[in-house]
């Protein structure tokens, strides 16, 4: 058997009716269609509205189209077991009929290289139990970059499902000096091709009309599998059909994919292949390796040959154009000198806006929360229930909400960097630096974001394809000094230097030192993990640099709200829960009535924990009262300040005035009369807070993102242990030197 | 016809055609899927500020790859 043309139209009959969520879509074809390979079969009217999958390359405007089609009618969640966002939305046809659309993650190829691509592949192949195989597929392509975009379309057409192609970014075609002969493209593919400008909403009506068609044609999709691998495809297809229960056409598509898929990316929730199929695949690969046949390469080549012919016919270069706007921007942005300047200014703007802009809403929220608690204190009789509500529930919820402005701003910036295309440039510039510790440029933005807050940073690691690299980035992200450490640093610096005793520059220098220590530790541990626990190949840096684009504010806002909602649900519930538990620990058992608050806390469970911890903390120069503050601040680092206030009997106001607390700290002594907060101890506390993992929200997000309690626990332990050891070394060395 | 060289040795700004491609390795398969095949013309646009990675223009879009991969791809420089 030499050539093996694949024609979707050849065997539509054998496609089993696809059952989706209890309903069933009948794929009926008249038997006369069976004979002619060139006949275009038509699908009979489905019993219920069909489910569409939306697929496309990254950067082709897929999310924009999805948002434009479905508006706010979206359900965002996660695919169970993996951290890939699962989005389902409902669009309405011109006649008001609902059309369900699953927005699959962006993919360059169905031969997956990242969890995102693996989910796209598995949903399309019907491998996932949590998502029914879609009935029809919308393929969105970037009209200015047709060749590479059609590669994915070509793979999708193998599935033998009705496909609608959306040619997006038609408005940018002229700028790129290109023309597309739509009629020819449509004729050659044999399926609807809808020109569209998702950003402006142009072409949406035509698209919706096409989507609500009941008789979508199947593609005229015939191509020759290279001769040496055709028998293998046949054998794999048969096995996938028999042993893995795939419908014949899907089996064929999957057989083709298995040859380019190294199957390095297995995703939880997707059913693995049967033993028999795996065996056949291994045997063929072994045989080809022996014969020196480059099977994967041959497959890719033959696909691009088909695409090349298609594009030669359909795409016209309208004449030479000069360097594009993107080229001109890149000449500056990736310039050896100006590039750094632009990067520096961008990052400075990011941090400035987080620290300044976020302050107003944070203060406002703080005010509301305090007012609410005050009101409750007035409205309810004193007692445990009131204390639970004001000190447990309200302060816990307030803490969650107070995080929000910073997180929203950070998400907005990350979204802006992504959507304009600058994110890819930052990764391009920083790749060399990150490669020193065995990571790639894509880890840069997540780590950088972590200076503001590790949560969005960790959530931004989703763009890193390699699982191990992503895990390393998550593991070290909390070492970047986040904004929650600032209050601790400020308090300790205040306690360290009585007013006016040292120039401001010394304080600034000390602060910078803490940031530098965290950064150095993050890189050091990344280097260490890459060489030990998570040994892997040096990651590659194969990345598209998309053209610069104006971001769509609507899309940005939608995504920002979506992510904030996820944060609230994931971290919020845990923080609230633990805040209540911690309140309980500090409030019980009750000290006898009339005692000052610091007596109560000493008497409480938290006080007992603090005392129990003292033997461990004493070598670091900390007493049990600092122990209580450290234990309390496991919820969130900034709690350290308010907890210290309670323990040392000072009411801290929300205005951030640290002076009364500083004075109280300077008066604090050990039982033998020695000063507690010596300069060495203050410094040591700062170092401890640089390194220790004291943030439940982050822990909650890490658990979600790694999908593993093991790694979450490992992170907690390695960071706490490092913090303790370093603080121990610093204190003992300091003492030995006479400080 | 110019003598074949490694992609990593091309001067910035030059055009070339891919000649040989390593068969093995996920990286090279992905480069192929991204449209960089034997016979494909491309332009080496620039190197990153620190010299690595490289940026090429292929099939009308921009793609980055590290020098370590580029060193294994044999290309034929086009006449200037």
Task: Tell how far CA A139 is from the center of its chain.
Answer: 23
In a domain, A333, yes or no: no
Determine, for residues A176 and B33 on separate chains, whether the beta-carbon distance falls below 8 Å. no
Q: Domain of A706? A: 559-736
| A654 or A669, higher pLDDT | A669
Over residues B30-50, the pLDDT tens digits come to: 899 999 998 999 999 999 999
Q: Residue A622: CA atoms inside 13 Å, Cβ hemisphere, count? A: 29
Q: In Å, what is the CA distance from A451 to each residue of A8, A343, A426?
A: 52, 16, 16
Mean pLDDT of A221-236: 83
In a domain, A541, yes or no: no
- B71: contact with A, CB 8 A cutoff: no
Number of folded domains in chain A? 2
In a domain, A377, yes or no: no
- Assess whether pLDDT exceeds 80 at residue A570: no
Confidence of residue A571 (pLDDT cuts 50, 70, 90): low
Confidence of residue A605 (pLDDT cuts 50, 70, 90): confident
Domain of A248, CATH number, reads 3.40.50.300
**Edge to edge, what strands does the sheet with B61-65 contain?**
A543-545, B61-65, B54-58, B41-47, B15-20, B74-77, B5-6
Contacts of A430 (CB under 8 A, 6+ apart): A343, A441, A444
Q: Dihedrals φ, ψ of A74, to 5°? A: -130, 145
- Assess whether pLDDT exceeds 80 at residue A92: yes
Highest mean pLDDT among A427-441, A492-506, A516-530, A587-601: A516-530
In a domain, A130, yes or no: yes
Over residues A238-277, the pLDDT tens digits come to: 888 888 888 888 888 888 888 877 654 566 567 777 888 8
**3-state SS string over A303-368?**
HHHHHHHHHHHHEEECCCCCCCHHHHHHHHHCCCCHHHHHHHHHHHHHHHHHHHHCHHHHHHHHHH
Q: What mean pLDDT value characterizes chain A?
A: 81
In a domain, A507, yes or no: no
- How far is A194 from chain B, CA to nearest CA, in Å? 22
Determine, for residues A301 and B37 on separate chains, whether the beta-carbon distance falls below 8 Å. yes
- Assess whether pLDDT exceeds 70 at residue A500: no
Number of Cβ within 10 Å of residue A83's Cβ equals 18
Distance (Å, whole) CA A207 – CA A64: 14
Distance (Å, whole) CA A435 – CA A541: 10
Determine, for residues A339 and B35 on separate chains, whether the beta-carbon distance falls below 8 Å. no
In a domain, A106, yes or no: yes
The pLDDT score that the predictor gives to residue A39 is 39
Over residues A191-214, the pLDDT tens digits come to: 999 999 988 889 999 999 999 888
- Assess whether pLDDT exceeds 70 at residue A10: no
Interface-testing mutation among A145, A153, A297, A329, with chain B (most B C-beta atoms within 10 A): A297
The pLDDT score that the predictor gives to residue B66 is 92
- Assess whether pLDDT exceeds 70 at residue A27: no
Mean pLDDT of A717-737: 93
B54, β-bridge pairs: B47, B65
Of the candidates A316, A350, A371, which is a domain's last residue? A316
In a domain, A129, yes or no: yes
Of the candidates A316, A336, A362, which is a domain's last residue? A316
- B27: contact with A, CB 8 A cutoff: yes
Over residues A36-73, the pLDDT tens digits come to: 333 344 444 445 778 999 999 988 888 889 988 988 77
Name the closest residue on chain B to residue A108, using Cα atoms: B34
Q: Dihedrals φ, ψ of A97, to 5°? A: -80, 135
Q: In Å, what is the CA distance from A572 to each residue of A386, A397, A398, A457, A474?
A: 21, 7, 10, 17, 20
B41, β-bridge pairs: B17
Q: What is the CATH number of domain B5-77?
A: 2.30.30.90
Determine, for residues A544 and B37 on separate chains, whether the beta-carbon distance falls below 8 Å. no
Cβ–Cβ under 8 Å, residues A150 and A56:
no
Q: DSSP of A243-297, one letter per residue?
A: HS---HHHHHHHHHHHHH-------TTBPPPPHHHHHHHHHHHHHHHHHT--HHH
CA geometry: angle A538, A543, A545, nearest 5 deg: 145
Lowest mean pLDDT among A409-413, A500-504, A716-720, B69-73: A500-504
The pLDDT score that the predictor gives to residue A148 is 93
The pLDDT score that the predictor gives to residue A262 is 62
Residues in chain B, how many? 80
Determine, for residues A334 and B51 on separate chains, whether the beta-carbon distance falls below 8 Å. no
Over residues A512-565, the pLDDT tens digits come to: 889 889 999 999 999 999 888 887 776 788 889 998 988 878 878 887 887 778
3-state SS, residue A23 = strand
Q: What is the ipTM of this complex?
A: 0.94
Mean pLDDT of A93-101: 87
Is the preceding peptide bond at B53 cis, omega within 30 degrees of 0?
A: yes
Cβ–Cβ under 8 Å, residues B73 and B4:
no
Burial of A654 (0-12, 13-18, 19+ CB in 10 A): exposed
In a domain, A198, yes or no: yes
- Assess whether pLDDT exceeds 70 at residue A390: yes
- Assess whether pLDDT exceeds 60 at residue A86: yes
The pLDDT score that the predictor gives to residue A240 is 87
Burial of A657 (0-12, 13-18, 19+ CB in 10 A): exposed
Q: In Å, what is the CA distance from A720 to each residue of A483, A716, A724, A726?
A: 19, 6, 6, 10
Distance (Å, whole) CA A97 – CA A92: 5
- Which chain A residues are Cβ-neighbours of B50 within 8 angstroms? 429, 432-433
- Assess whether pLDDT exceeds 60 at residue A509: yes
CA geometry: angle A730, A734, A735, nearest 5 deg: 120
């Amino acid at each position: 058997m030499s050539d093996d043309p694949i024609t979707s139209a050849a065997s539509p009959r054998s496609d089993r009716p696809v059952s989706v969520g209890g309903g069933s879509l009948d794929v009926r074809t008249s038997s006369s269609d069976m004979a002619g390979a060139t006949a275009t079969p038509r699908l009979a009217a489905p019993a219920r509205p069909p489910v569409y999958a939306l697929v496309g390359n990254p950067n082709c405007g897929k999310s924009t189209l999805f948002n434009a089609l479905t508006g706010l009618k979206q359900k965002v969640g996660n695919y169970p077991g993996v951290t890939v966002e699962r989005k389902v939305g409902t669009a309405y046809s011109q006649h008001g009929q609902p059309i369900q659309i699953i927005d699959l993650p962006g993919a360059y190829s169905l031969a997956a290289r990242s969890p995102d691509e693996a989910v796209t592949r598995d949903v399309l192949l019907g491998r996932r139990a949590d998502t029914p195989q879609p009935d029809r597929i919308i393929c969105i392509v970037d009209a200015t970059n047709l060749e590479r975009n059609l590669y994915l379309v070509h793979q999708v057409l193998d599935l033998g499902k009705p496909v609608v192609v959306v040619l997006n970014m038609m408005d940018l075609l002229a700028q790129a000096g290109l023309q597309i002969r739509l009629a020819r493209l449509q004729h050659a593919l044999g399926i609807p091709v809808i020109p569209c400008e998702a950003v402006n909403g142009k072409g949406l009506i035509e698209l919706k009309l096409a989507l609500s068609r009941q008789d979508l044609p199947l593609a005229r999709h015939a191509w020759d599998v290279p001769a040496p691998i055709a028998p293998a495809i046949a054998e794999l297809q048969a096995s996938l059909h028999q042993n893995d229960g795939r419908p014949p056409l899907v089996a064929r598509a999957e057989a083709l994919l298995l040859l380019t898929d190294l199957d390095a990316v297995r995703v939880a929730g997707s059913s693995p292949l049967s033993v028999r199929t795996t065996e056949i695949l291994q045997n063929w690969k072994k045989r080809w390796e022996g014969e020196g046949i480059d099977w994967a390469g041959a497959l890719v080549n033959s696909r691009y040959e088909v695409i090349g012919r298609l594009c030669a016919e359909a795409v016209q270069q309208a004449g030479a154009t000069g360097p594009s706007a993107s080229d001109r921007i890149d000449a500056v942005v990736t310039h050896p000198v100006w590039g750094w300047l632009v990067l520096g200014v961008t990052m400075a703007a990011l941090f400035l806006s987080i620290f300044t802009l976020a302050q107003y809403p944070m203060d406002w929220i703080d005010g509301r929360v305090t007012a609410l608690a005050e009101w409750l204190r007035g409205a309810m009789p004193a007692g445990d229930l009131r204390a639970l509500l004001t000190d447990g529930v309200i302060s816990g919820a307030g803490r969650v909400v107070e995080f929000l402005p910073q997180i929203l701003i950070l998400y907005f910036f990350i979204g802006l960097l992504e959507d304009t295309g600058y994110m890819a440039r930052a990764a391009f510039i920083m790749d060399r630096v990150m490669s020193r510790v065995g990571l790639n440029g894509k880890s840069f933005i997540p780590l950088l974001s972590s200076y503001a807050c590790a949560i969005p940073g960790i959530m931004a690691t989703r763009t890193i394809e390699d699982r191990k690299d992503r895990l390393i980035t998550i593991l070290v992200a909390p070492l970047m000094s986040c904004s929650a450490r600032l209050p601790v640093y400020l308090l300790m610096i205040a306690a360290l230097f009585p007013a006016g005793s040292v120039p401001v520059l010394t304080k600034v220098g000390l602060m910078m030192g803490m940031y530098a220590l965290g950064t150095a530790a993050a890189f050091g541990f990344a280097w260490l993990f890459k060489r030990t626990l998570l040994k892997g190949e040096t990651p590659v840096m194969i990345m598209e640099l998309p053209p610069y684009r104006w971001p769509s504010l609507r899309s940005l806002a939608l995504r920002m709200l979506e992510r904030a909602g996820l944060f609230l649900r994931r971290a919020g519930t845990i923080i609230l829960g633990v805040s209540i538990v911690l309140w309980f620990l500090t409030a019980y058992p009750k000290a006898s009535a009339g005692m000052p608050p610091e007596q109560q806390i000493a008497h409480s469970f938290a006080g007992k924990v603090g005392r129990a911890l003292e033997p461990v903390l004493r070598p670091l120069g900390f007493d049990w009262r600092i122990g209580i503050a450290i234990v309390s601040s496991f919820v969130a680092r900034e709690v350290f300040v308010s907890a210290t206030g309670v323990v040392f009997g000072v009411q801290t106001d929300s205005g951030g005035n640290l002076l009364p607390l500083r004075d109280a700290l300077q008066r604090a002594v050990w039982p033998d009369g020695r000063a507690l907060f010596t300069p060495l101890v203050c410094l040591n506390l700062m170092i401890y807070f640089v390194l220790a993992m004291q943030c439940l929200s982050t822990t909650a997000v890490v658990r979600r993102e790694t999908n593993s309690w093991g790694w979450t626990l490992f992170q907690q332990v390695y960071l706490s242990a490092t913090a303790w050891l370093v603080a121990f070394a610093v204190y003992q060395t300091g003492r030995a030197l006479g400080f | 016809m110019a003598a074949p060289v490694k992609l990593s040795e091309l001067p910035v700004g030059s055009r070339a055609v891919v000649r040989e491609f390593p068969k093995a390795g996920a990286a090279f398969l992905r480069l192929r899927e991204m449209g960089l095949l034997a016979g494909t013309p491309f332009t080496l646009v620039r190197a990153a500020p620190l010299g690595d990675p490289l940026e090429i223009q292929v099939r009308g879009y921009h793609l980055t790859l590290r020098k370590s991969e580029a060193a294994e791809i044999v290309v034929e420089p086009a006449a200037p």
